[in-house]
Amino acid sequence: MIRNANIPGDDENRPPVLELQDVTVSFGMGAEAYVVLDEACLKVEENEFVVVIGYSGSGKSTLISTLAGLTTPTRGAALYRGEPMPAPGPDRGIVFQNYSLLPWLTVVGNIDLAVKRLRRDLTGTARRDYVQKYIDMVSLSGSEKKYPSELSGGMRQRLSLARTLSMQPEVLLLDEPLSALDALTRSVLQDEIIRLWEEDRRTVVMVTNDVDEAVLMADRIVPLTPGPGAKLGREFDVTLPRPRDRTTLNFDPDYKHLRNEATRYMLQLSADKKTRTETRRFTLPDLEPANFGA
Amino acid sequence: MKYKIIRLLDVAGMNCFEPVVRLCYGEEPRQQVRKIGLFIVAPVVVFALFIGAWAAIAPFIKTKAGSLPSPVDVAGSLVDVYEFHWREYAKKADFARTGDDRDTTLALVTQQLADATERKAVVEAELAELTATLDAETAATLKKYEEAIENQTLVYHASQFEREQELHKLGDKLEVSQDEPREQYVASVREHQTLSARESTHLKELRSDLAAIRKSTTPQFAALLREKNDLDQETQFLDKRASLLSDGNRRSNVASAALTLKNADAALAAAAPGQRYDATLDYLGAEERVLSSAGAIYAKPPTFFDQVFTSIECVFVGFLFATAIAIPIGVLCGLNKVIMASLSPLISLFKPVSPIVWLPIVFIVVGGFIERPDEAWVKPAFLSSAITVALCSLWPTLVNTALGVASIDKDHLNVARVLRLSMWDRLTKIVIPSALPLIFTGLRISLGVGWMVLIAAELLSSSPGLGKFVWDMFNNGSSDTFSQMLLTVFVVGVVGLLLDRIMIVFQRLVSFDGGATAL
């Protein structure tokens, strides 16, 4: 099922797929409360590839789990197709940062856990073929009988992706799926995710800390200001034509411009944050250590 | 192949043999030899040292039941209990033998009996001869020694009497009112008493030396005596077998009972009018005997190995009870903080209670449920021991299960939430598999505790098993039984070790993180 990309004129009638309205998430109570997200606003349209970019510890995972319904906002509202966010479900498939594979199940077992639950119509060979289709999709063929502990980091992330894709979610939420991988594996998987997305343009929200990755993959980049109390910053639309080829892209002036601008903006955010914290610095008393020797 | 064997050894928890396998495949021989030295040779040497130290110390620890049995005695007692075991089983089999089997066995046994009797006669003759020569040799020595003691006794008596007379005389002449002579007199009487005591101690020592000489035997004599004892037992055993194969056989019993029945029937047929009622009673009694003798089995006393088996059975029954209680409660505690908080005082309260306290209570309660212990399909003593084992061994499983369930990875639960798994699926597909390694750690500790508790429980409740065996041996109090008690120590240790190894295998099979297991 290949859905068409943004149909012009249709957007105004339909509510966005995901929407955050002044969402504040904090943990703890009273004076000890730790504010992770502070009045964040975000709209994600149908079939859009949105990348949220932010420093580590800026509440990216909290943002994703709010979008999945795993975390309930302390204040504000999270909407799914205009309705209040329902309980987490397979329609908002999430790929966790640390894979979250079940270590006692094999590659097949991990995917089958989801398939058995969600595709009760499939039995016997049909179900096996269905599982195999997703294993092949993420190029894990040949490792069906392996356990997660026997897989490399990249393979684990592929498996995690396959499990989520097998749920056939309407929205794919990727929580720093590539940040634990080495640079080479990372670029292979970036291409793979793009390929899968282009086959079947779902709505994707991906979180990352890598500007290059964001520019390469996104339709729209949303920066997250450094936490605590992270807000969503100025958005960048990425209008580079697809498919984007990483080798030629490096010479594209638009790409370079966008990349530099986004990087500068992120560095600016960090600098602001530093000045903000510097004002709160304690002034140390002007003390000299006593000289015991003499 | 090499890695398969190594993996197998790893799962079985026998990593110490890994270097041997690697050496066989010629992998880094120097390294492997060093490892063999560390993991195999060193423990064996230490074990040998332990046995050596035991053998050296044992003769110096004297008890009422002879000196502490040496390793050789204990090994001998293993042979003894094994012999007893197979003899009892042979008798049991003989009792039920029929037909040609019975005839051929009887012929064989009769032959063996004749052989044994012959050998016994030879040994007895040798023994008698040896006794005669030894007696003649020792008689002379003994006589001299006895005379010497006699003389010494007379000398001491005479000197004591003399001293007493002297003191009496001195006492008569004493000026009691004056301090100095009085004190002198008291001192000399005291000296007399000390001297007499020393003399009588000397005499006692001499007499015990004499007793030692009387008892002393040559190794040859001891060996012959042992052989004679063994042959005594063997002939007795063969005699019993012969009787069980002929007159004492079940078939013979049935035949004789049938004959009685036939006679009773005939008697009833010929009975005069006044005796018919009594004759019928006789007939019915005879009928009863035919039935009971047909179904009879040889009343075999439990052998050592039967006791080991019963103990293992009992510990497993108790362990099953404990598992059935501990895992569900542990899962509930792990899942729900309220349940955990409300149960933890109870758990903390009962966890340290000793089996010795539980047993009598359990015994009374179980006794209340089973009114006629003889007819019950399970012996109350057995059930009480099993329940005591359960009560003492369920805690490690409970605590570990609760911990395993409570410390489940939050991401795994998020997966369950996204998949909208039902409560049951969440439990069986996510929670339990994830807690399984810790559950098995708990089970392993529980089984170890259960085995330790069981021996104490059996000892107290007189439930058949190793505990009762030790208690019976203690009450017997001969040197043979003493070494059988020490044998029990090793058997309990070995069985405990095996149970632990079995649990390690299970633990390894369910652990997905490949983590190391403690020894």
Q: Are the beta carbons of B106 and B242 closer than 8 angstroms?
A: yes
Closest-approach residue (CA) in chain B for A86:
B418
The pLDDT tens digits of the residues spanning A173-214 come to: 998 888 877 888 888 888 888 888 888 778 999 998 888 888
pLDDT at B328 over 90: yes
CA distances from B334 to B420, B432, B440 (A): 20, 11, 15
pLDDT at B381: 85
The three-point CA angle A276-A277-A279 to 5° equals 75
**Among the partner residues B411, B420, B429, nearest to A90 by beta-carbon distance:** B420
Which residue(s) pair with A20 in the sheet? A42, A78
- Whether residue A90 has a cis bond before it, omega within 30° of 0: no
Show the tokens assigned to A26.
């904090």
The pLDDT tens digits of the residues spanning B177-195 come to: 888 888 888 888 899 899 9
R_g (Cα) of chain B, nearest Å: 36
Reduced to 3 states, what is the DSSP secondary structure of residue A171? strand
pLDDT band at B38 (very low <50, low <70, confident <90, very high): confident
Reduced to 3 states, what is the DSSP secondary structure of residue A51? strand
Q: Is residue B189 part of a domain?
A: yes
B chain contacts of residue A114, beta-carbon cutoff 8 Å: 419
pLDDT at A276: 62
> Is A68 in Cβ contact with B415 (below 8 Å)?
no
pLDDT at A294 over 50: no
**Among the partner residues A89, A96, A114, nearest to B414 by beta-carbon distance:** A96
Q: What angle separates helix B304-335 from helix B466-476, to the nearest 10 degrees?
A: 140
A chain contacts of residue B408, beta-carbon cutoff 8 Å: none
CA distance B304 to B408: 46
Each residue of A91-107: b (16+ CB within 10 Å) or e? ebbbbbbebbbbbbbbb
The pLDDT tens digits of the residues spanning A149-174 come to: 888 888 898 899 899 989 888 899 99
Share of chain A above pLDDT 90, in %: 7
B chain contacts of residue A173, beta-carbon cutoff 8 Å: none
Average pLDDT, chain A: 82
pLDDT band at B324 (very low <50, low <70, confident <90, very high): very high
DSSP string, B156-207: HHHHHHHHHHHHHHHHHH--TTSHHHHHHHHHHHHHHHHHHHHHHHHHHHHH
> Is A94 in Cβ contact with B414 (below 8 Å)?
yes
pLDDT at A291: 65
Closest-approach residue (CA) in chain A for B408:
A102
pLDDT at B516 over 50: no
Q: Is residue B67 part of a domain?
A: no
What residues contact residue B509 under an 8 Å CB cut-off, 6+ apart? Answer: B11
> Is B414 in Cβ contact with A93 (below 8 Å)?
no
Number of residues that make up chain B: 519
Reduced to 3 states, what is the DSSP secondary structure of residue A84? strand
- State which residues form the domain around B473: 304-509
Statement to judge: residues B212 and B264 lie in one domain: no
Partner B, chain A 116-135, Cβ-Cβ below 8 Å = 117-118
> Is B409 in Cβ contact with A100 (below 8 Å)?
yes
> Is A102 in Cβ contact with B430 (below 8 Å)?
yes
Statement to judge: residues B346 and B433 lie in one domain: yes
pLDDT at B405: 93
Chain A closest CA to B393's CA: distance in Å?
Answer: 28
Mutant choice from B3, B412, B415 vs A, greatest count of A C-beta within 10 A: B415
Show the tokens assigned to B268.
């009833």
Each residue of B260-287: b (16+ CB within 10 Å) or e? bbeebeebbeebeeeeeeebeebbeebb
Statement to judge: residues B434 and B458 lie in one domain: yes
Statement to judge: residues B388 and B357 lie in one domain: yes
Chain A closest CA to B32's CA: distance in Å?
Answer: 27
Q: For every residue of B39-81, which 3-state class applies, written as one string?
A: HHHHHHHHHHHHHHHHHHHHHHCEECCEECCCHHHHHHHHHHH
pLDDT at B50: 95
Domains of chain A, with CATH numbers? 16-91+172-273 (3.40.50.300), 98-168 (no CATH)
> Is B430 in Cβ contact with A70 (below 8 Å)?
no
Statement to judge: residues B318 and B204 lie in one domain: no
Q: Is residue B359 part of a domain?
A: yes
The pLDDT tens digits of the residues spanning B146-179 come to: 888 889 899 989 998 998 898 888 888 887 788 8
Statement to judge: residues B230 and B267 lie in one domain: no
Average pLDDT, chain B: 86
Choose among A99, A206, A199: nearest CA to A154: A99
Chain A closest CA to B438's CA: distance in Å?
Answer: 14
Q: Is residue B419 part of a domain?
A: yes
B chain contacts of residue A147, beta-carbon cutoff 8 Å: 512
pLDDT at B518: 40
Residue B482: give its domain's CATH number: 1.10.3720.10
Statement to judge: residues B158 and B257 lie in one domain: no
pLDDT at B48: 95
Phi-psi region of B66 (alpha: psi -120 to 50; beta: other; left: phi over 0): left
Residue bearing the bigger pLDDT, A164 or B1: A164
Share of chain B above pLDDT 90, in %: 24
Mean pLDDT of B74-94: 88
Statement to judge: residues B385 and B287 lie in one domain: no
Residue whose tokens read 């910053």 = A233
Statement to judge: residues B463 and B314 lie in one domain: yes
The pLDDT tens digits of the residues spanning B352-361 come to: 988 889 888 9
Q: Is the dihedral of CA A45, A51, A56, A61 positive or negative?
A: positive
Show the tokens assigned to B297.
């089995």
pLDDT at B344 over 70: yes
Q: Touching check for A100 and chain B: CB below 8 Å?
A: yes
Q: How many CB atoms lie within 10 A of CB B38?
A: 12
pLDDT at B26 over 90: no
Q: How many CB atoms lie within 10 A of CB A3?
A: 11
Chain A closest CA to B420's CA: distance in Å?
Answer: 6
Q: Is residue B76 part of a domain?
A: no
Chain B closest CA to A52's CA: distance in Å?
Answer: 21
Reduced to 3 states, what is the DSSP secondary structure of residue A221? strand
A chain contacts of residue B418, beta-carbon cutoff 8 Å: 68, 70, 88-90, 92-94, 167
Statement to judge: residues B325 and B465 lie in one domain: yes
pLDDT at A277 over 60: no
pLDDT band at B479 (very low <50, low <70, confident <90, very high): low
Mean pLDDT of A283-289: 69
What residues contact residue A183 under an 8 Å CB cut-off, 6+ apart? Answer: none
Q: Is residue B45 part of a domain?
A: yes
Q: Touching check for A103 and chain B: CB below 8 Å?
A: yes
For chain B, how many structural domains are there in total?
4
pLDDT at A115 over 50: yes
Instruction: Please give the span between the terminal C-alpha atoms of chain B, in angstroms, as a whole number.
Output: 26
Alpha-helical segments (H) within B97-178:
99-173
Q: Is residue B495 part of a domain?
A: yes
Exposed, middle or buried, B446 (CB in 10 Å: 0-12/13-18/19+)? buried
B chain contacts of residue A65, beta-carbon cutoff 8 Å: 414
Mean pLDDT of A210-223: 87
B chain contacts of residue A105, beta-carbon cutoff 8 Å: 433
Q: Are the beta carbons of B347 and B395 closer than 8 angstroms?
A: yes
A chain contacts of residue B429, beta-carbon cutoff 8 Å: 113
CA distance B42 to A253: 73
pLDDT at A9: 47
pLDDT at B312 over 90: yes
The pLDDT tens digits of the residues spanning B242-280 come to: 888 887 788 888 888 888 888 888 888 888 888 888 888
Statement to judge: residues B411 and B444 lie in one domain: yes
Residue bearing the bigger pLDDT, B82 or B476: B82
> Is B415 in Cβ contact with A104 (below 8 Å)?
no
Q: Touching check for A113 and chain B: CB below 8 Å?
A: yes
The pLDDT tens digits of the residues spanning A50-66 come to: 999 888 777 888 888 89
Which residue(s) pair with B62 in the sheet? B67
**The complex's ipTM?**
0.80
Q: Are the beta carbons of A73 and A25 closer than 8 angstroms?
A: yes
Mutant choice from A117, A171, A173 vs B, greatest count of B C-beta within 10 A: A117
Lowest mean pLDDT among A103-117, B267-281, B345-359, B381-395: B267-281
Q: Is residue B50 part of a domain?
A: yes
pLDDT band at A282 (very low <50, low <70, confident <90, very high): low
pLDDT at A3 over 50: no
pLDDT at B317 over 90: yes
Residues of B with a Cβ under 8 Å from any A Cβ are 409, 411-412, 414-415, 417-421, 425, 429-430, 433-434, 436, 510, 512-514
pLDDT at B513: 61
Closest-approach residue (CA) in chain A for B410:
A100
pLDDT band at A227 (very low <50, low <70, confident <90, very high): low
CA distance A182 to A157: 12
pLDDT at A5 over 70: no
Statement to judge: residues B380 and B485 lie in one domain: yes
Residue bearing the bigger pLDDT, A3 or B11: B11
Residue bearing the bigger pLDDT, A1 or B44: B44
> Is B412 in Cβ contact with A94 (below 8 Å)?
no
Choose among A224, A217, A211, A223: nearest CA to A258: A211
Q: Specify which of A70-74, B17-21, B440-444 reaches the highest per-range mean pLDDT.
A: B440-444
> Is A88 in Cβ contact with B415 (below 8 Å)?
no
